[in-house]
Chain A
Amino acid sequence: MIKHFFSRLSIKLTILYSSLFMCIFAPTVLSYYYFTLTKIREDVRREFASSEMVFRQLMDMRLAQISDSVRLLTQDFGFREAVATNDTRTIDSALENLGNRLRVSWAVVVDADGAVISGAPVDDGRRRALNTLVSSAENGESATDVAVLDGALQQLVAMPVNAPELIGWAVFGVEMNASELQSLSDKSPVRFDAVLLHVSDAGEWVQTAITESAALRPDVLQFALRHIEAGDEKIHEMKAPQGAQLILVSALPVAQAARPVVLVLRVGLRDTLARFRDLLYTQLLIVALGVVLLTIGSWVLSLGVTRPLTQLAAAARHFGQGNYFELGLQNRSDEIGRLASSFSAMAGEIEDRTRQLKAANANLESRVAERSKELSEANEKLLIEVEQRRRSEEALLVSKTKAEAANRAKDDFLATMSHELRTPMNGIMGIVHYLKGVEMPEDSRKNLDILEESANALLTILNDVLDFAKIESGKVEIHKETFSLHGLIAGMEDLWRASANGKGLDFSVDMRFDRDAMFVGDKTRIRQIINNYLNNAIKFTQQGKVALSVEIAESAGDTAWLRLCVSDSGVGIRADEIPLLFEKFSQLEAGKARRFGGTGLGLAICRRLATAMGGEVGVESTLGKGSDFWCTLPLRKSEARAGALGERSDARGDGVNSGCGARKDLRILLVEDNEINVRVMRLFIEQLGYRVSGIARDGYEAVTEVIGSRKWDVVLMDLRMPNMDGLEATRRIRKAGFSAQALPIIALTADTMESDKRACIEAGMTDFIGKPVSPAALSSALERAAASLVHPMTSVA
């Protein structure tokens, strides 16, 4: 019910209007009241302050009046004569005469020393006041004082009597008339209480009321005393339980500071302001009346808006029921009139639209039926298509699986080929190496040299093809190991110098980097790139020089950019051939006389390796003058320094000679299934001064041999063998308690991939010789094994 009431627009508008008006009206009235109140408070203060001023002025005027009269008396010749001659009777009558006229409380004449000559009786209080007064009179001038005497505030005047010397004082005491202050309080709009505070003989504060009011309440007294002692002479506001009080403290001028007289005026603010409460009531009444008037006015106003709206609503309702309804509001000139016109226009338009809509509707139905048919047909088609798509995807999956299988087959083929090709090469190389150590006629030696060269070339081609195949199949493995760049380069320098010098070329190496710096990267691959570049350069240069420069070109953070460059004074490359240079199977002068054999894979391998390591390769060349092949590679800088890691072993590398005083009495067990390889190994081992003490044909035999009767110092273990392979055999031997120190096992394998090497180390092998075996590699491996043997003769528990 109430909700319904407030949802009416006229009520809402009324409330809105009234509250808007109230928002403006009420603050105005209230701020006016507040302003008035503040003003009144100020006025009360001012009035209060002026009352005190008037009171003090009254006192001053009284004092001046008395002083003047007394001065006249003391300058009278007869009075002077009377004082000079101690004529008490005359003095008394003079004092009485003047005293009556001035309504003084008491009057005396004292001589120059203060002794009373004549006048009213002098008690202790008067005596004290008199002495204070006369002694305060400076140099015979007149003096005044305020003291509380005989229970009342008295103003005292002392006037000197000169004849012409100072012969005495006329002293008058006049009681301060309370009626003056009372009438001041009565006439003031601020009715105040006045109290005098003075110090009694006992040293305590005593209050004497001046006006008709009661004495000060203790808390007010304390408040006033606090301010008197602090010396604050002004109006103070005090918060008291009976309402805020204004307290005025005013010390009267006294001759003796030890006996102060203080006038205290008090006014209760609440009582004073009570008179102004009527103002508040009047204003509240005005506000209330205003609210009523505003509400009525707002109601009338809102009806002016809502009545046409109600009519409009009725019209809309009729129209909704399909009937026309004459509004009769269109003639109005205001917004309501415009609204009514718009409404009528809208009604007409809606009427038209409705008609059109009905026609269109009929049309639409037939078209919808048509469309539905088309849609169902398309849907069927789509289903068929989806089915087809699904089938083709299935087919794709099958072919993908097949392709993957083919890829795996290719990988397996490659791995097998790698092994199968190396094994016969091993035999050829082995025999060639062996034969070179045998004496033979000169022409046979020449033939042997040709054989060796051919074998080497074949091996190179074989390595390149296998390497490239591995790279192409994505099996390139980049190692992260800490190495000395200087050690790496220095280890290669001598071999290549020998190779270049052998062809009559100058060879120089320029290293521009910190020789002690260590880097993290794949040194084997870096060596491969350098070897390829140098190999090419020497191959294609007929005369002049080949130079290798290595530098750390750029260093950012912990990444150092290695830049390798191989320069030659060879034939150079035509500009249009450069882009093809790093493509596979690309060789210059292709189709023409192929003067310099090779697979044409070297540079392609370089590029792929460099890319795999995050670097780049390139060449700058001038035809007929020479070429600069370069390669940039990012390396991580290592914290370590050369020497700490003993990386110098690279410097030794492949160039180690056999027999450096190492032990030759090693009992060597050769595990090899291939008869040719057995023979080659035996030849090599014996050529190096060792002896093969036993042969096992497969892993099983090897395990039996090692664990069984014989004691062996070193095992040379082929990896691919029937029955049991080398890895399994090694694992079993290690499991049986033969430690690496007690029995080094050296792997012999054509599988030169890194993963194979890792598998060897994991199985427990201590060293690794790649096939085809070179005598140098065999020699150093055997020496390392001999050196690592701690107790070669100790039996295994």
Chain B
Amino acid sequence: MAARLSIRASLAALWSIAASMGAAQAAEISVVVHDERDEAVTDAVVILTPASISGEPQAQAPHSGKNASYEIVQKDMRFTPHILVIPRGASVVFPNRDTVRHHVYSFSPAKRFELTLYGQDETRTVTFDQPGIVAIGCNIHDSMQAYIYVYEPRQEAKISEEGRATFRNIPGGEYTITVWHPRMKPHDAEMQRVVRVEASAAKVESIAIPLRPARRPVRASYH
């Protein structure tokens, strides 16, 4: 559900860019993300930054956070979704659908916050006004983890599904592709690449990222 919402948000953003470009003809770029063993990577955050308008932050619409609604649900001792991309200034609600209480927090520099213990069907809202990666945990349940990637409104963001993130109806030109994944090594690093896409063309860009092995679940006895 959240994924669909985020896609819709992206489409809206895209549409606004396309409208502002006027007569520019639509292009398409597919980013194929795989790890060093050539396996498709799901849940990688792919950010597309257009080079031509990189110096004009005022051109973007400050409305984006208003229409969209982002949500990270706590259910079955998990944060869902595990990864969320939101534009700067957007708010995320954290409803608790578990019978136990949770203590949601983040020590990330992009957004430090703490939602002290709250119970079933209660909810809290946090607004993210700085770009960056926010790692979210639960002080009670260490196995609960979630990431919010806060991007600039002029950028486009997608989460790879089965190793692929496709950006449609974009104007031709030069773009910087940024790829991030929570298990990327070295820690907190991003992968960036500059590509050029012609108008009316469909480009496929393959990017390999180094990944740490998936962490085993923390033992239940410590919950």
Contact = CB atoms under 8 A, between A and B. Distances in A.
A113 B189 CA distance: 13
Given A81-B107, A140-B215, A75 B135 contact: no
B222 A164 contact: no
Contacts of A80: 107, 139
A113 B222 CA distance: 25
A162 to B, nearest CB: 6
Nearest to A83: B107
Contacts of B215: 139-140
Given A163-B107, A164-B135, A71 B142 contact: no
B66 interface: no
Contacts of B118: none
A84 B142 contact: no
Nearest to A77: B139
Interface string B77-91: 000000000000000
Interface in A75-99: 75, 77, 80-81, 84-85
B216 interface: yes
Given A112-B187, A139-B213, A139-B215, 6 more contacts: A77-B105, A77-B139, A163-B107, A163-B135, A164-B142, A165-B145
A540 to B, nearest CB: 131
Interface string B186-213: 0100000000000000000000000001
A201 to B, nearest CB: 31
30 contacts: A71-B222, A75-B142, A75-B222, A77-B105, A77-B139, A80-B107, A80-B139, A81-B107, A84-B107, A113-B187, A139-B213, A139-B215, A139-B216, A141-B216, A162-B137, A162-B142, A163-B105, A163-B135, A163-B137, A164-B135, A164-B136, A164-B138, A164-B144, A164-B145, A165-B135, A165-B137, A165-B145, A165-B182, A165-B187, A167-B107
A164 B139 CA distance: 8
A80 B138 CA distance: 12
Contacts of B142: 75, 162, 164
B215 to A, nearest CB: 5
Contacts of B213: 139
Interface residues of B, number: 17
Contacts of A164: 135-138, 142, 144-145
Contacts of A165: 135, 137, 145, 182, 187
Nearest to A140: B215
Contacts of A75: 142, 222
A113 B187 CA distance: 9
A418 to B, nearest CB: 136
The 10 closest A-B pairs by CB, nearest first: A164-B137, A84-B107, A164-B145, A77-B139, A165-B135, A163-B107, A139-B215, A162-B142, A139-B216, A140-B215
Interface in B162-200: 182, 187
Interface of B: 103, 105, 107, 135-139, 142, 144-145, 182, 187, 213, 215-216, 222
A85 B216 CA distance: 26
Nearest to A74: B142
Nearest to B139: A77
Nearest to A72: B222
A587 to B, nearest CB: 136
A167 B135 CA distance: 11
Nearest to B141: A164
A163 B134 CA distance: 11
B136 to A, nearest CB: 7
Contacts of A139: 213, 215-216
Contacts of A77: 103, 105, 139
Contacts of A112: 187
A37 B107 CA distance: 69
B213 to A, nearest CB: 7
B106 to A, nearest CB: 8
Contacts of A85: 107
Interface string A643-666: 000000000000000000000000
Contacts of A140: 215
Contacts of A84: 107
Interface string A86-123: 00000000000000000000000000110000000000
A77 B117 CA distance: 13
Contacts of B144: 164
A113 B186 CA distance: 10
Interface in A126-185: 139-141, 162-165, 167
A162 B144 CA distance: 11
A139 B215 CA distance: 6
A38 to B, nearest CB: 48
Contacts of B107: 80-81, 84-85, 163, 167
A167 B145 CA distance: 14
Interface in A180-233: none
A113 B144 CA distance: 23
Most buried by B among A139, A141, A164: A164
A693 to B, nearest CB: 141
Nearest to A141: B216
Nearest to A71: B222
Nearest to A167: B107
Nearest to B213: A139
A666 B182 CA distance: 151
A81 B108 CA distance: 10
Contacts of B103: 77
Contacts of B135: 163-165
A71 B221 CA distance: 12
A163 to B, nearest CB: 5
Nearest to B143: A164
Contacts of B182: 165
Nearest to A163: B107
A66 to B, nearest CB: 16
Contacts of A141: 216
A728 B153 CA distance: 168
B20 to A, nearest CB: 38
A111 to B, nearest CB: 10
B199 to A, nearest CB: 41
A163 B187 CA distance: 14
A580 to B, nearest CB: 130
Contacts of A81: 107
Contacts of B136: 164
A347 B103 CA distance: 126
Contacts of B105: 77, 163
A85 B109 CA distance: 9
Contacts of B145: 164-165
Most buried by A among B107, B182, B213, B222: B107
B80 to A, nearest CB: 15
A117 to B, nearest CB: 14
Contacts of A71: 222
B141 to A, nearest CB: 9
A84 B222 CA distance: 21
A126 to B, nearest CB: 24
B45 to A, nearest CB: 15
A86 to B, nearest CB: 10
B126 to A, nearest CB: 16
A85 B105 CA distance: 13
A165 B138 CA distance: 11
A165 B222 CA distance: 16
Contacts of B216: 139, 141
Interface in A288-343: none
Contacts of A162: 137, 142
Contacts of B222: 71, 75
A164 B213 CA distance: 17
A85 B213 CA distance: 27
B113 to A, nearest CB: 12
Contacts of A163: 105, 107, 135, 137
A27 B187 CA distance: 80
